[in-house]
Structure 1
Amino acid sequence: MSRLNVYADNNPGTPIIHLTDPARIASELAPIGVRFERWNSPVTPDRPAPEAEVLAAYRPYLDQLMGETGAGSADVLRVGPETQGWAEARRKYLSEHTHGEDEVRFFVHGQGDFILHVNGRVYDVRCTAGDLISVPAGTPHWFDGGETPDFVTLRIFTNPDGWIARYTGSDIAASFPAEA
């Protein structure tokens, strides 16, 4: 289930907001420029489906989104317990960072937490299958797919070089682990 917990950035133990309704989550995130929505595709490809099949299933959504954002490419990222190098990649994702372009993800299967640090608040957004999130360029955040990940996402890029992080050097992410 999709979820949003919001904390004061100096109080990781007590959420000041807890939401599970996707429309309310979207409304809470909109003022900080984060796009959050549910895509109700008539077809959800199987987890091991080839990349071309996954992209084709969501092509109408992707075409519209890429037209709105000027993004130039989309791909499929599959991460599971068998994924080589996940522990090292997870450490990178768990460090607060920003990007020079919006970070856009759609969850086809599984879940992951995008955790944003904006205006003295920490927004822990649990994204699940059917959720789209777009974190604006320059927004400090980190991502947790869990110790035993199991997700398939569509990634949408404007920059042909793909995912490029600029680390902030802050250790705030250690105080705000994603909730199980």
Structure 2
Amino acid sequence: MSSLSVYHVSSPEIPNKVLTHLEDIASTLAEQGVRFDRWQTTAKIQPGASQEEVIAAYQEHIDKLMTERGYLTVDVVSLNSDHPQKAELRARFLDEHHYAEDEVRFFVSGRGLYSLHIGDYVYAMLCEKNDLILVPAGTPHWFDMGEHPHFVAIRLSSNPEGRVVDFTGDDIASRFPRLED
């Protein structure tokens, strides 16, 4: 189940609140400029489906968001616990960073934990199947895929050459809970 845990930066061990209802999560994140939504499809996606098949299943949603926000590219990223570089890939995004463009992820399957550092709070958003998160450009955050990653996600971008990660140098991410497998 998707959930949002909100922590004050001074108390990373105890959240101020934990939300599990879509409307509560979406409105709390919207107050911070973050979009959270759920997409549904009637198309059946088989394990091992190609990037094209995954995108086709959600094409209507993708087209709408690309038009609305001016995104130029779409692709699919897939990672599972058999990947030989899973530990390196996980470590790459565990430190606080931001991008000059929006970070958009739609979870086709699996899950991941986005932790957003906004002001004096950390918003830890556990995204699961059918969840869309849109982290605005410049928002400090980190992403944890867990020790045993399993997810397929659609990514939208406004930069055809790829995003450039800008690490903040703050060690805040090391003080907050990780994704438990």
TM-score by length of 1: 0.97
SS in 1 for 2:88: helix
Contact 1:124 1:178 in 2 (8 A): no
The residue number in structure 1 matching 2:80 is: 80
Contact 1:47 1:152 in 2 (8 A): no
Alpha-carbon distance in structure 2 between the residues aligned to 1:22 and 1:102: 21
The code of the aligned residue for 2:135 comes to: V
Alpha-carbon distance in structure 1 between the residues aligned to 2:82 and 2:160: 27
SS in 1 for 2:76: strand
Q: Is 1:47 paired with 2:47?
A: yes
User: What is the alpha-carbon root mean square deviation over aligned residues?
Assistant: 1.0
Alpha-carbon distance in structure 2 between the residues aligned to 1:155 and 1:176: 25
Q: CA 1:44–1:175 in structure 2 vs 1: closer, same or farther (change >3 Å)? A: farther
Q: Could you give the per-residue CA deviations for residues 36-72 of structure 1, whole angstroms, max 9, x where no partner exists? A: 0011211241231011110100000000000011000
Q: Is 1:141 paired with 2:141?
A: yes
Q: CA 1:54–1:62 in structure 2 vs 1: closer, same or farther (change >3 Å)? A: same
**Identical-pair percentage:** 46
The code of the aligned residue for 1:32 comes to: Q
Alpha-carbon distance in structure 1 between the residues aligned to 2:84 and 2:65: 31
The residue number in structure 2 matching 1:33 is: 33
Segments of structure 2 that go 5 or more residues without pairing to the other structure are none
| Aligned residue runs from structure 1 range 130-169, under 5 A | 130-169=130-169
Count the aligned residue pairs: 180
Alpha-carbon distance in structure 2 between the residues aligned to 1:40 and 1:55: 13
Question: 1:92 Cα deviation (Å)?
Answer: 1.4
Contact 2:112 2:179 in 1 (8 A): no
| Aligned residue runs from structure 1 range 1-180, under 5 A | 1-180=1-180
Segments of structure 1 that go 5 or more residues without pairing to the other structure are none
Alpha-carbon distance in structure 1 between the residues aligned to 2:140 and 2:127: 18
